[in-house]
Amino acid sequence: MFEKQIIQSDKAPKAIGPYSQAVRVGDLVFVSGQIPLDPNTGELVGEDFKAQAEQVIDNLAAICQAAGGDLSNIVKLNVYLTDLSRFAEFNEVMNSRFAAPYPARAALGISALPKGAQVEAEAVLALA
């Protein structure tokens, strides 16, 4: 049986439900979905899609750091968009924050996200 280690960062928003920001099991870290909440206020960063996408990546990065890694340790990224026409914009933000080799990724169009967010992302990290 694997031991679960809970990962918590004050530089990312607190969980808004009964879940952990991330859980480490062995060399894998499973990061819960992050929406574009400002960790200081708990509020959405605004209605601008790019600002929301950047905040989502910032939140993921903070949790990666708390786990002992960084964005380059992400091996799988799942992205949820309330408007799939924003797919290219998300790619631009991702290109500005990630370097090759890129993680595996899925991008899904969904009808709604918590607090009216336009984008959410969850990740799996591999740490040595």
Q: 48 to each of 53, 112, 118, how far by Cα in Å?
A: 9, 16, 9
Q: What percent of the chain has pLDDT over 70?
A: 100
Return the DSSP state at 43.
S
> pLDDT tens for residues 80-126?
999 999 999 999 999 999 999 999 999 999 999 999 999 999 999 99
- Cβ proximity of 84 and 73 under 8 Å: no
Q: 53 to each of 25, 26, 32, 71, how far by Cα in Å?
A: 27, 29, 16, 15
Look at residue 1 and tell me whether its pLDDT is greater than 80.
Answer: no
| CATH top class, domain 4-126 | alpha beta
